[in-house]
Amino acid sequence: MNREEIALKIELLERQNLSKSAEMTNYTQSALTSKVKKMEAEIGQEVFKRTTQGLKITDVGMRYLHFLKLVAQEYEAFLQAIGPAQTTIHFGTSHTTIKIYGAPIMNALQTNNSQIDVDFTVESSTSLNQKVHNSEMDCALTSNPITHYPDLNYDLIATETFEVISNNKQLIDFQRRTPVTLLVLSKGCMYSRAMVEWLKNENIPFTIKEIKSVSSILDFLQIDNTIAVLNTKLIHLYNYSNIHFYDLKGLNKVIETVFIYKKNNQQHSPIHQLKKIIESLLEAS
């Protein structure tokens, strides 16, 4: 049974607006028009009347909608009755997120004997956001991206902070506008973007270097005129003491962490189960 196809039919019949349905799904309006024609060919009658005000569902369409909802409900009940099967979720995280939450998530899945098998992909928040939108990935946990797609949910999971740091023997006087080297885990993460924007606004010359290892970043801070941006929890996790923290006026060091997934996911889906596990981990931390 193709649950996605049934969910799409229910979406079309309930909304009665192809342009709005196109915004909520990964289909073009012309593709949805073809879906409606195919649906009507399957049952042999029209499910919509074409009026000057747009589509209006017919009595047959209402009966078909009711039938589809019953099928969907019965199928969900059947799946729950037979018990969960192991499901693989393609889950995306940023470089910071995987270092902080990767191991606890895997440990929680094993401790709870979960039937969810998680495949991790580590990329920037922008890339992860786009991949969930394009259905190349099931869900992601990352910094709140700039672009929000209408077919995705962006559920706030946590509020994180980041720090601007240097070696405590190599202090930076930003007012002198001396060129600096900025070390980051990922150029595409929101921490990096926030710091780059601040440096530009303050007219401070800089070069940005992407280094995938936190320990390497901390080692490279011994170089003159070098700073880094790292998640506050990540700094505490590595327990590195020889650093200086900067409180920079006009720099908002608070970043929202969101769980991104498709709006049409069922409430009892493995994706929602994974989300609950992550939420419980954050509540306990």
Q: What is the pLDDT of residue 212?
A: 85
pLDDT in tens, 174-233: 999 999 999 998 888 888 999 999 999 999 999 999 998 888 998 999 999 999 999 998
Say how many domains are in the chain. Answer: 2
Question: For residue 118, what are its two tokens?
Answer: 């998680």
Asked whether the predicted pLDDT for residue 280 surpasses 90, the reply is no
Task: Decide if 44 is inside a domain.
Answer: yes
The CATH number of the domain holding residue 64 is 1.10.10.10
Q: State the DSSP string of 34-75.
A: HHHHHHHHHHTS-SEEEETTEEEE-HHHHHHHHHHHHHHHHH
Rg (CA), the chain: 24
Q: How far apart are alpha carbons 97 and 233 in whole angstroms?
A: 10
Residue where one domain finishes, among candidates 82, 99, 116: 82
Contact 230, 185 (CB under 8 A): yes
Dihedrals phi, psi of 184, to nearest 5 degrees: -140, 155
In a domain, 144, yes or no: no
Domain carrying residue 60: 3-82
**Domain annotation covers residue 274:** no
Q: Is 241 helix (H, G, I), strand (E, B) or coil?
A: coil
The mean pLDDT of 33-38, rounded to a whole number, is 93
Which pLDDT value is given to residue 85?
59
Count of other CB atoms within 10 angstroms of residue 226: 20
| 17 within domain boundaries | yes
Domain membership flag for residue 95:
no
* pLDDT of 285 higher than 80: no
Q: What is the pLDDT of residue 265?
A: 77
